[in-house]
Amino acid sequence: MARKWVLFIALAVWTCIYPSGHAFAFSPQVIQRGAVGDDVIELQARLQYLGFYNGKIDGVFGWRTYWALRNFQYEYGLPVDGLAGSETKRKLVNASKYYEQFVKEQIRQGNDFTHYGGIPLSQQVKKRGGGSSRAAKTTASNVPKGFSQNDIRLMANAVYGEARGEPYIGQVAVAAVILNRLEHPSFPDTVAGVIFQPGAFTAVADGQIWLTPNETAKKAVLDAINGWDPTGGAIYYFNPATATSAWIWSRPQIKRIGNHIFCK
Amino acid sequence: MVRNLLIAALVVAVVGTGYWGYREHQEKNAILIHAENNYQRAFHDLAYQIDLLHDKLGATLAMNSHASLSPALAEVWKIASEAHSDVGQLPLSLLPFNKTQEFLSKIGEFSYRTAVRDLEKEPLTEEEHKTLEALYKSAGAIRQELRNVQHLVLENNLRWMDVELALATNDEKGDNIIIDGLKAVEKNVDTFSSSSEFGPSFIGLANEEKGFVRAKGRPISKDEAKRIAREFLGLKGTEKIKVTDSGNGADERFYSLTIHDPKTKGDIYMDVTKNGGYPIWALNSRPIGKPKISLHEAANRGMAFLRRHQFTGFELYDSTQYDNVAVLTFVKSENGVRIYPEAIQMKVALDNGHVVGFTARDYLSSSIPRPLPKPTLTVEAAKKKLNPHLKVMEERQAVIMNDLQKPVLCYEFLGTLGDETYQLFINAATGLEEKVEKLESVEPNYR
């Protein structure tokens, strides 16, 4: 830890002596694939300045950023590991400029822009209507493999409509049941197909699915998609206090979470 | 005068209400008819698709040339998939209709596998021919039943809305023709499925149950489960822990623990196997503050946690930051060979670097035989099987589960083509391209 701080101070002092675009550069963190935030925006902008990165500067460290970084490390004689550590960042800051104000302003306005070296910045902006007062944050998101942000939102709607009164784990469980059904031969194989199957979910039948879901429901969906299945492979669940169908009671029960019994 | 006015007002009110009620009634009817029509379309379409399925299966039986068999099987696959989707649109979730859906899904899988195979080199086996014949026969039986139900529906003007109502109110009268007819269909399929016409070689449907093969050892008690949780989660000992047994429907016996700490907001949940007391998964629901550590640091802490709990020989495969949590995937690695089915996922909070989620379900239920086979192909020979336009960036050996759910040793290549990144697996013994995936984990935000 102490060594890291020494490096950081050295880096900070060094960037003050050689101002390169902006006085600040990178926080002391090691940036790796999957990261999001300001450091990634700077990393992408600097890699683009040198012509290694041709993708969008969106603040999410994806595969394109990864290969760009590795190419940079190769060209500059660094160990090729795809991690932006202190040495890599030092060489990168040394070799490139980062017009932070420009970049942040474009992101805030929602413009399409690039950050190549040797071309006047004013020629690298394509205005897009609408976007005016947005936060200068990342313009993309990490999504689990095979799911889009809209799939996650649709599932969060279903989870919120079905189980908003349940403990957190009960919400993850409902999301897990939807996912288990996707895999199961007896059910439709799309998220929308499973959710809107007639009679499958009471929240769909009575319209509660169209309530606006909260952050908890979204988090629960994300946990389920990322591999957490509290139900042990259940494909049905019911509330024993309100269930009317005799058939559902005949299913082999796995466990009870909150007010729901989960079964096969 | 006042009286007349009052009467006039009342008349207007009565006529107005009547008109309003009439309009409401009209609108409600229109919506009911709309919903009914959707159900009717799905049902009649299903009957038609099954008809077609039966015909096409019959045609494949008579075919001898491989050139015509492959496209015919592909068509069977398409029809089965459409019929499957039709069933999903009918209000049947309260009616046991699973077997029929499963049957359609199996036909789809069988025809897909045989259609994509090079039948020139690997013609249908005797067993597969028998399967086709059996499928044809049972599709015929289902078709007969469905056509019968369809006739009754048309003849008697039956409505699906009534079926839905009967199912929802749990009507025990049992004289609903549609329900009875569909139950007959289901029964028909059931006798077929239980006679295992698909043969022993037909495995690998997604819901194949494996159980926790790794969870060996003597059964533990509830108190031992508590102790394991305390040790695994690093609890202080002041928490209240509730333990419950798994129900009879569970594949493997396990304990579910709910850990409540009066000091922190949010509970911790955990499942532990009864045999041997292995942690299956754990999830901490506490609110997480602003990120203070990096994804890289979180990955290091996750790895340290694994080592501390005797999970050795794992390496980081994937890491993703979602706001203030890091989601990490670790896979077993032996002598540089990644064993993908043996994966453990973890969640690390970026505010204090503590582990807030753990799941070893895949790891516990994976049974890759050891020692691993040696590759018979060289890397160079495997590389020749790749698309020549692909720029290979990384290569290693890896074990994956292939389409038939069998573990295979492969050469794994990471490469780029244009702007995209691909992950490719070439079988290290046969040179077969087992799996090709486009890696994409970033989606632009919509405005």
Q: Are residues A67 and A13 in the same domain?
A: yes
pLDDT at residue A135 in the model:
64
**Which residues from chain A sit within 8 angstroms of residue B443, using beta carbons?**
140-141, 143, 148-149
Q: Has residue B371 been placed in a domain? A: no
**pLDDT band with cut points at 50, 70 and 90 for residue B315:** very high
Token representation of residue B250: 């569970």
In a domain, B212, yes or no: no
CB-based burial, A151-188: b 16+ in 10 Å, e otherwise: bbebbbbbbbbbbbebbbbbbbbbbbbbbbbbebbbbb
In this prediction, residue A21 has a pLDDT band, given cuts at 50, 70 and 90, of: very low
Determine how many CB atoms are found less than 10 A away from the CB of residue B426: 25
Residue A111 and residue A196 in one domain: no
**Residue B172 burial by Cβ neighbours in a 10 Å radius (0-12, 13-18, 19+):** exposed
Q: Do A256 and B347 touch (CB under 8 A)?
A: no
* Domain end call among A91, A126, A161: A126
Q: Considering only CA atoms, which of A84, A26, A224 is closest in space to residue B327?
A: A224
pLDDT digits (tens, 9 = 90+) for B251-280: 788 899 999 887 777 789 999 998 888 999
User: Residue A91 sits in which domain range?
Assistant: 2-126
Pick from B321, B357, B362: CB nearest A35: B321
pLDDT of B188 > 90? The answer is no
Task: Note whether A112 and A11 are same-domain residues.
Answer: yes
Domain limit, last residue, from A79, A111, A126: A126
Counting one residue from chain A and one from chain B, the pairs whose CB atoms sit within 8 A come to: 202
- Looking at CA atoms only, how far is residue B39 from chain A in angstroms? 9
| C-alpha distance from A67 to closest chain B C-alpha (Å) | 9
CB atoms within 10 A of CB B64: 6
Whether B163 and B41 map to the same domain: the answer is yes
H or E segment to which residue A208 belongs = none
Q: CATH number for the domain including A108?
A: 1.10.101.10
Q: How confident is the model at residue A22 (pLDDT cuts 50, 70, 90)?
A: very low
Q: Does B202 reside within a domain? A: no
- pLDDT for A242 equals 83
Domain containing B139: what range? Answer: 32-194
Instruction: Determine whether B46 is exposed, middle or buried from the number of CB atoms within 10 Å of its CB (0-12, 13-18, 19+).
Output: buried
Q: Give the pLDDT confidence score for residue B174 in this predicted structure.
A: 52
Taking the CA of residue B9 and the nearest CA in chain A, the distance in Å comes to 38
- Substitution target in B442, B445, B447 with the highest count of A β-carbons within 10 Å is B442
Residue A138 lies in a domain: no
Instruction: Verify whether the Cβ–Cβ distance A35 to B250 is below 8 Å.
Output: no
Q: Are residues B182 and B36 in the same domain?
A: yes
Q: Exposed, middle or buried, B149 (CB in 10 Å: 0-12/13-18/19+)?
A: buried
Contact B281 A142 (CB under 8 A): no
- Together in a domain, B154 and B258: no
Give me the sign of the Cα torsion angle A88, A91, A96, A98: positive
Quote the CA–CA distance of A94 and A156 in Å, as a whole number.
Answer: 45
Residues B164/B91, Cβ–Cβ less than 8 Å: yes
**Best to test chain B binding among A4, A8, A29, A32 (most B CBs inside 10 Å):** A32
Over its C-alpha atoms, chain A yields an Rg (Å, rounded) of 24
Measured between CB atoms, which of B170, B247, B347 is closest to A255? B247
Query: Residue B146 carries which side chain, given as an amino acid letter?
Result: L
For residue A33, the model assigns a pLDDT of 92
Contact between B444 and A140 using a beta-carbon 8 Å cutoff? yes
A154 shares a domain with A113 = no
- CATH number, domain of B397, equals 3.10.450
Inter-chain touch B251–A232, beta carbons under 8 Å: yes
A7 Cα to chain B: minimum distance (Å): 16
Q: Could you tell me the two tokens for B129?
A: 């021919």
The answer to whether residue B39 is domain-embedded is yes
Residues A144, B327: Cα–Cα separation, whole Å: 10
In chain B, whose CA is at the least distance from the CA of A39?
A: B294
Q: Which residue among B285, B318, B447 places its CB closest to the CB of A131?
A: B447
**Where does the pLDDT of residue A11 fall: very low under 50, low under 70, confident under 90, or very high at 90 and above?**
very low
A123-150 pLDDT tens trace: 788 776 555 555 667 788 888 888 888 8
> What pLDDT is stored for residue A61 in this prediction?
92
Q: How many whole angstroms separate alpha carbon B152 and alpha carbon B140?
A: 19
Is residue A186 in some structural domain?
Answer: yes
Give the nearest partner residue to B93 out of A62, A130, A198, using CB atoms: A198
Using alpha carbons, list the distances in angstroms from residue A56 to A35, A44, A133, B173, B444: 15, 8, 20, 64, 9
Nearest CA of chain B to the CA of A226: how many Å? Answer: 8
Tokens 């899988």 -> residue: B109
Closest chain A residue to the Cα of B292, Cα to Cα: A29
Q: What is the pTM of this model?
A: 0.84
Domain count, chain B: 3
- Residues in Cβ contact with B5 at an 8 Å cutoff, skipping those fewer than 6 apart: none
Give the distance from residue B279's alpha carbon to the nearest chain A alpha carbon, in angstroms.
Answer: 12
Specify the higher pLDDT residue, A63 or A109. Answer: A63
Sequence letter at residue B111: S
Using a pLDDT cut of 70, give the percent of chain A over it.
Answer: 87
Which of A72, A223, A236 should one mutate to test binding to chain B, selecting the residue with the greatest count of B CBs within 10 A? A223
Same domain, B186 and B79: yes
A133 lies in some domain: no
CA B183 to chain centre: 25
For residue A233, list chain B residues with Cβ-Cβ distance below 8 A: 207, 209, 251
Which of A20-34, B68-82, B266-280 comes out lowest in average pLDDT?
Answer: A20-34
Say which DSSP state B420 is in: E
Residues A107 and A166 placed together within one structural domain of the fold: no
Rounded average pLDDT over B1-18: 90
Domain boundary residue, one of B305, B332, B365? B365
Q: Do the chains contact at A244 and B322, CB–CB below 8 Å?
A: no
Residue B156 DSSP SS3? helix
Looking at residue B349, its pLDDT comes to: 93
Domain count for chain A? 2
Q: What is the dihedral of CA A222, A228, A233, A234, to 10 degrees?
A: -50
Same domain, A15 and A100: yes
Please check whether residues B322 and B281 belong to one and the same domain.
yes
- Non-local (6+) Cβ contacts of A29 within 8 A are A39, B293, B294, B296, B297
Distance CA A19, CA A183 (A): 55
CB contact under 8 A, A55 and B320: no
Q: Which pLDDT does position B191 carry in this prediction?
A: 65
B110-139 average pLDDT score = 84
Pairing of the two strands B337-349 and B391-401: parallel
A34 to chain B: closest CA residue: B320
When the pLDDT of each residue in chain B is averaged and rounded to a whole number, the result is 85
pLDDT at residue B359 greater than cutoff 60 = yes
| A259, B66, B110, B132 from B120: Cα distances, Å | 56, 6, 18, 18
Could you say which of A110, A184, A198 has the minimum Cβ distance to residue B91? A198
- Which long-range CB contacts under 8 A does B202-208 form with residues at least 24 apart? B202/B106, B202/B110, B202/B131, B203/B404, B203/B405, B204/B109, B204/B403, B204/B404, B204/B405, B204/B406, B205/A185, B205/B105, B205/B106, B205/B109, B206/A183, B206/A184, B206/A185, B207/A183, B207/A184, B207/A185, B207/A233, B208/B405
Please give the residue of chain B at the shortest CA–CA distance from A245: B170
Query: Does B360 lie in the same domain as B411?
Result: no
Q: Is B135 exposed, middle or buried (0-12, 13-18, 19+ CB in 10 A)?
A: buried
Give the pLDDT score at A17.
Answer: 41
CATH number for the domain including A197?
1.10.10.2520
- Whether A43 maps to a domain, the answer reads yes
CA distance A19 to chain B (A): 26
Residue A4 in 3-state DSSP?
helix
Condensed to tens digits (0 to 9), the pLDDT of residues A83-105 reads 998 889 888 888 888 888 888 88
How high is the pLDDT of residue A128? 67
Give dist(CA B326, CA B311) in Å, integer.
19
Say whether both B315 and B401 belong to one domain: no
Do residues B139 and B108 make contact, with C-beta atoms less than 8 angstroms apart? no
Structural domain includes residue A207: yes
Nearest alpha-carbon partner for B328 in A66, A142, A39, A4: A142
A144 in a structural domain: no
Listed residue (B422, B330, B427, B441) closest to B377, CA to CA? B427
Binary contact (B445, A140; C-beta < 8 A): yes
**Cβ pair A55:B419 closer than 8 A:** yes
B416 shares a domain with B276: no
Contact B93 A197 (CB under 8 A): yes
pLDDT for B209 beyond 60: no
Q: What is the pLDDT of residues B316-328, one digit of tens each?
A: 999 999 989 999 9
SS3 B443: strand
**Same domain flag for B353 and B400:** no
Least confident range from A18-32, A240-254, B274-288: namely A18-32
Q: Which amino acid, one-letter code, is at B288?
A: I
Q: What is the pLDDT of residue A131?
A: 54
Q: Do B447 and A172 touch (CB under 8 A)?
A: no
Kindly state whether residues A251 and A182 are assigned to the same domain. Answer: yes
A122 and A84 share one domain: yes
Contact list in A for residue B271 (CB cut-off 8 A) is: 230, 232
Q: Is residue A28 part of a domain?
A: yes
pLDDT value of residue A173: 94
Tokens of B82: 């459409």
Question: Cβ separation of B322 and A222 shorter than 8 Å?
Answer: yes
- Domain end point (choices B177, B194, B211): B194
Per-residue pLDDT band at A204 (split at 50, 70, 90): confident
Q: Is residue B185 part of a domain?
A: yes
For residue B303, name the pLDDT band (cuts at 50, 70, 90).
very high
Would you call A187 and B88 a contact, using CB atoms and an 8 Å cutoff?
Answer: yes
